[in-house]
Structure 1
Amino acid sequence: MAVERSALIVVDMQEDFCPPNGSLAVPGGRDIAPIINSLLTLPFTAKVASQDWHPLDHASFDVQHPPPNNKAFTSWVTATNPDDESKSMQLQLWPVHCVRDTTGAKIIPEIDATKLDLIVQKGQDKRTEMFSAFGDMFSRGGSSVVSHDLAAWLKNKKIQQVFVVGLTGDCCVKATAIDAKKEGFETFVVGDATRSVDDGNDGWGAAKREFQEHGVIVIESRDQRLQDLKS
């Protein structure tokens, strides 16, 4: 079986998304590090990590908005597309997290970052949210929202397949995988190398339904397509 030129994308394995001290800690977030490190030993053509890298005054932070409608997880505000003021979307509020150059934004030490070829720092425009490593909530890329144009970088390396892991399956992993598919890559999410905020039907279950709609395939780390890389 021919092995396509492939990339591993490790999404947001950062201190603020992991117990015990992360401000947006995902249960079991650190537990997937050994599986991810095992995948990092495989001979992917490219190995990439994404890293939330917000300014302190990011619009999604609850403290940036006046009460009473500034409650993390439950309050929403309107965000306007900086490139087209006629377009807007609702933006959910979160606790302050992954502020650039802080401990919370660091990739957890359990991840062997020495194996990475590229770290994409995302969410740098305070006006918009950015779940995907490819673009923000308005599908904007470029230097104002992300440190590298990931799609262009992968295409320059002639990548054909993308495998996505990390945090979280029902948010940033989901958005990154769906955008990878939209960019023309055959896309897989490694289910046992992800964790979700909500492991139930409304979270991870809904994400898997979206994956199916977009043609993203969910596999496990023992899948033959990954084992073939070893040869």
Structure 2
Amino acid sequence: MADSPDPSFKPALLVIDMQEDFCPPNGTLPVPDARSITPLINTLLALPTLPLKIATQDWHPPAHISFASNHSAPHNTPFTSTTTITNPLNPAESYTTRLWPVHCVAHTPGAALLPELHTAHLTHTIQKGTDPRVEMYSAFYPPLHSPRMSDSGLAALLHGEGITHVYVVGLAGDYCVRSTAEDAVREGFVAYVVEEGTRPVDGTGWEGCKREMEERGVKVVREGGREVGRLFGRVEGSG
């Protein structure tokens, strides 16, 4: 007789921004070695132990505030310039964000999910970064909370399905993956970032980024570890 499902462990997979513009050779904001993580992600997508498999896409309008080209010189150099973003609903709340090359503009080839990604296994796709006024690294919501000006609906979807643990993979490890995992912790989920399933924009800062995620409650785990093994039935429950 089969064992009953463990109600304390109902996992979901979050596949973050596996899009052409984030990948060599033709992406406008290519993350080094980004395409190499696709086989592992496809392996996870095929697992029957993950009832929700959700992809995200950056889906920006051309006038998006994070594009360096939408700012005036000399403060409009991609990767090095920054801008301050203010909550449209509360001028007292603001944050500073890095400026980027134009990327993942809605309905363009660069915004498409990679053709080698096994999208037939996805249960949902969420588009984010659609408001030109704010950056949105996290798959949940922008980093503006007083009041929160938008919400992707991801938290409600996960809570509605009784999800307890989220496994986060995709691009980029030090931006959208990190922000998604940290917001997942804030929403009450156990959040794992699978290290072999992500790549950072800034490789030299990756070790520090991982430490900061761990300090915020995210667990950075390895493909061969107990947490991922649990999805394959290799180990008993953990974490």
Map of 1:25 onto structure 2:
30
Choose from 72, 80, 83 the match for 1:77.
Answer: 83
Could you list the per-position Cα deviations for residues 139-179 of structure 1 after superposition, in whole angstroms to 9, with x for gaps in the alignment? 4898x756x41001000000000000011111110000000
Give TM-score, length-normalised by structure 1.
Answer: 0.93
Tell me if structure 2 keeps the 8 A contact 1:122–1:145.
no
The CA RMSD measured in Å over matched residues stands at 1.8
In 1, Cα distance between the equivalents of 2:68 and 2:150? 20
Question: 1:124 and 2:130 equivalent?
Answer: yes
User: In the aligned structure 2, how far is the partner of 1:166 from the partner of 1:13?
Assistant: 6
Choose 1 or 2 for highest CA Rg: 2
**1:150 pairs with one of 140, 154, 159:** 154
CA distance in structure 1 between the aligned counterparts of 2:84 and 2:11, rounded to whole angstroms: 38
Aligned residues: 227
Amino acid at match of 1:221: E
Given candidates 159, 170, 174, the residue that maps to 1:166 is 170
What is the rounded CA distance, in whole Å, between the counterparts of 1:104 and 1:141 in structure 2?
32
- Between the aligned partners of 2:136 and 2:10, the Cα distance in structure 1 is 27
Cα gap change, 1:140/1:63 in structure 2, threshold over 3 Å: closer, same or farther? farther
What is the deviation of 1:137? 2.5
Q: Could you tell me which residue of structure 2 aligns to residue 218 of structure 1?
A: 220
Q: Percent identity?
A: 47
The answer for the alignment partner of 1:8 in structure 2 is 13
> Of the candidates 79, 83, 98, which is equivalent to residue 104 of structure 2?
98
Return the match for 1:209 from 202, 208, 211: 211
Summarize the alignment of residues 176-195 of structure 1 with structure 2, pairs less than 5 Å apart. 176-195=180-199
Runs of 5+ unmatched residues, structure 1: none
Tell me how far apart the structure 2 counterparts of residues 85 and 20 of structure 1 sit (CA, whole Å).
Answer: 40
Alpha-carbon deviation of 1:228? 2.7
* Preserved contact between residue 139 and residue 154 of structure 2 (Cα < 8 Å): yes
